[in-house]
Structure 1
Amino acid sequence: MERVVDIASDGRHLSALRGFLLVSEDRQEIGRVPLDDIAAVIVHAHGVTWSTNLAVALAERGVPLVLCGQNHAPVGVLLPLDGHHGQNARMRAQWAAGRPLAKQLWSRIIVAKLRWQAAILAAHGKERAALDMLVRKVRSGDPDNIEAQAARRYWPLLMRPGFRRERDAQDINGPLNYGYTILRSLVARSVVAAGLHPSIGIHHANRGNAFALADDLVEPFRPLVDALALRLAAKGFDKVDPATKRAFAGLIAVNLSGADGVTTVTVAAQRLAQSLARTFETNDASALVTPLPPTPIEIAGLDRLIPESEPKPSSTMPAAERPP
């Protein structure tokens, strides 16, 4: 399993030595991880330092170094520019892709996201019919903003009536932010490994967003974070702490059903990015391989990620609204 290394304590120093990432404090080593086993390095704490050698070693392996703000959302990511042997050709094809192709790709991504949201609702005993109906209304480019219409139905059904998705809210939104950070870094890594440039999105186009394409491709995977955050909150783990961080880090190894059999979230993200590269080269949107929605058994398997420590009462989710 590729590992997510989260640095959550102040005063740490990160360096590279003989193929390992070393974590030290006051010049004393307190841990090491093989560089080749790392999927992402996420820095939450303040006062953390790292060596240039480590940054170069991570970049050479396509491993993102993610810097987070106080709301647990990423504010900066270090990624390599040279991440694939055919990078130049693929980036040219990516840049030259026409607007009609981008609109077709975005609609396919939105359809995949809505199907994932519907699967998550059904697995938690919620009515999914509204989202199934909206899937059929998605048009090229989603001009009717079906994604937002679905969100207005999805969040109150999944969480509670009146729930709002707010990045800076001090409730279950914190764990959601952290989980999205995990998957965003995974997708960003997959994008670069596929020889694509993460700043050239197919829908997200904010000039200040260097990872617009990662934000596009992470959309279908987001409901998996929602499901785990909900199940964690039901057990009393409704804050971002070491226990919930370990749970979200485990998402990248969760099993999913695919066209070629069972795979992991990591491999599904890689296949999605690789297939997108092929769509740019062939100008054929049907080449995009979006991940299939998780089955009820796969969603129930998220419980294996929940810490075994004694649960405490949840401050964000009434007992009547907790999932089975």
Structure 2
Amino acid sequence: MDRIVDIATDGLHISSYRGFLIVTQEREEIGRVPLDDIHAVMVHAHGCTWTSNLVVALAERGAPIIFCGSNHSPVAVTLPIDGHHAQNGKMRAQWEAGRPLAKQLWRRIVVAKIKMQGSLLAARAVSESSSFDLLARRVRSGDPDNMEAQAARRYWPALMGPDFRRDRKGGGTNALLNYGYAVMRATVARAVVAAGLHPTVGIHHEHRGNAFALADDLIEPFRPLVDALVMSMIGQGAEALDPPLKRRFAKLIAFDVRMAGVTSPVSVAAQRLAQSLAHSFETGVATLMLFDPPTSADWTTLSRTLADIE
């Protein structure tokens, strides 16, 4: 069972004991979670402390610890050094991959993202959705025309309204999006390390200060799943991030998507995508395992089963 543990109360102490993550407050235990059940730990609170034994125990299980800023965007992360039995060879292939291959891989990711955006808009009966198939077909190797940005300029007003502006430092809707993306980012980063790849070496994102570059590449097709959940939450009156909403975001990694004719949870889809990327680096052929855009019924299922406010 994959669980995302969110630490949002100031002054907590987090440790490990006999296979459990233990949360204490003023020396009193207030919660425990089996370490083997943990998918990731997200820390939003101030003044928290944790033991090195906990960090080691989570790393041994491939579970990242994500430290978030006040806007709910990640600012730091811990990841295991040893993620795969053939890690050395896979990382070497990753580092030695040429730009032509990286450009082909990025094209496939951008096409998948734009198709996902169009699929979500179509499910919401937005007339502009039909243009996204054309935008996807116009993406070239490396996306030199920046069709990703062109799609985004149409997507956000069509989805959120003409007055919405995507702001990574903003509150309200933007804070909900930030948190959802952080959950998805942790899932993809975990999959990248498990596949024997290094999350810092991206195929498109290359900022030297970004320890998540490869995760930020692979997360792109998953983002509209978060967008759909946020839209449903807003439709039900959500204005600020609270514990019940965080639990809904945590369940997103268990939402089923279709990939190569097989239905798998989002967490498994991320693993298969990362594994296919590692194979692409080793063979020099751009073959990514990307999930199919959800049907209208699937989008409705996501909204109804994950967005109910408790």
Aligned residue for 2:33, secondary structure, equals: strand
**Structure 2 CA distance for aligned equivalents of residues 196 and 292 of structure 1:** 24
TM-score, scaled relative to structure 1:
0.93
Counterpart of 1:126 in structure 2: which amino acid? Answer: V
Give the aligned partner of residue 305 of structure 1: 306
Give the aligned partner of residue 216 of structure 2: 215
**Structure 1 CA distance for aligned equivalents of residues 172 and 9 of structure 2:** 22
For the 8 Å contact 2:236–2:309, the answer to whether it is kept is no
**Structure 1 CA distance for aligned equivalents of residues 79 and 237 of structure 2:** 35
Counterpart of 1:176 in structure 2: which amino acid? Answer: L
Counterpart of 1:85 in structure 2: which amino acid? Answer: H
Give the aligned partner of residue 132 of structure 2: 131
Alignment map for 1:42-61 (pairs within 5 Å): 42-61=42-61
**Structure 2 CA distance for aligned equivalents of residues 57 and 308 of structure 1:** 33
1:46-90: per-residue Cα shift (whole Å, max 9, x none)?
111100000011111111100000000000000011111000000
Task: Report how far residue 307 of structure 1 moved.
Answer: 3.3
Give the aligned partner of residue 29 of structure 1: 29
1:267-288: per-residue Cα shift (whole Å, max 9, x none)?
1000000000000000000x21
Give the aligned partner of residue 9 of structure 1: 9
Task: Report how far residue 308 of structure 1 moved.
Answer: 4.3
1:265-313: per-residue Cα shift (whole Å, max 9, x none)?
001000000000000000000x21112111222211122122344xxxx
Aligned residue for 2:85, secondary structure, equals: coil
Counterpart of 1:179 in structure 2: which amino acid? Answer: G
**Unaligned 5+ runs, structure 2:** none
Counterpart of 1:70 in structure 2: which amino acid? Answer: S
Does 2:250 correspond to 1:272?
no
Aligned residue for 1:119, secondary structure, equals: helix
Task: Report how far residue 162 of structure 1 moved.
Answer: 2.8
TM-score, scaled relative to structure 2:
0.98
Give the aligned partner of residue 166 of structure 2: 165
Give the aligned partner of residue 87 of structure 1: 87
Counterpart of 2:240 in structure 1: which amino acid? Answer: K
Task: Report how far residue 178 of structure 1 moved.
Answer: 0.2
For the 8 Å contact 1:105–1:202, the answer to whether it is kept is yes
Task: Report how far residue 170 of structure 1 moved.
Answer: 2.0
**Structure 2 CA distance for aligned equivalents of residues 297 and 30 of structure 1:** 40
Aligned residue for 1:229, secondary structure, equals: helix
Counterpart of 1:69 in structure 2: which amino acid? Answer: G
Give runs of ≥4 in structure 1 deviating > 6 Å: none
For the 8 Å contact 1:114–1:150, the answer to whether it is kept is yes
Once the two structures are overlaid, the 10-residue window that deviates more, 194-203 or 128-137, is 128-137
For the 8 Å contact 1:67–1:75, the answer to whether it is kept is yes
Alignment map for 1:162-311 (pairs within 5 Å): 162-285=163-286, 287-302=287-302, 303-309=304-310
Counterpart of 2:78 in structure 1: which amino acid? Answer: L
Task: Report how far residue 98 of structure 1 moved.
Answer: 0.2
Aligned residue for 1:77, secondary structure, equals: strand
1:218-239: per-residue Cα shift (whole Å, max 9, x none)?
0000000000000100001131
Give the aligned partner of residue 112 of structure 1: 112
**Structure 1 CA distance for aligned equivalents of residues 308 and 122 of structure 2:** 24
**Unaligned 5+ runs, structure 1:** 310-324
**Structure 1 CA distance for aligned equivalents of residues 236 and 266 of structure 2:** 24
Counterpart of 2:142 in structure 1: which amino acid? Answer: G
For the 8 Å contact 1:256–1:262, the answer to whether it is kept is yes
**Structure 1 CA distance for aligned equivalents of residues 178 and 130 of structure 2:** 27
Aligned residue for 1:39, secondary structure, equals: strand
Aligned length: 308
Aligned residue for 2:205, secondary structure, equals: coil
For the 8 Å contact 1:243–1:307, the answer to whether it is kept is no
For the 8 Å contact 2:245–2:309, the answer to whether it is kept is no
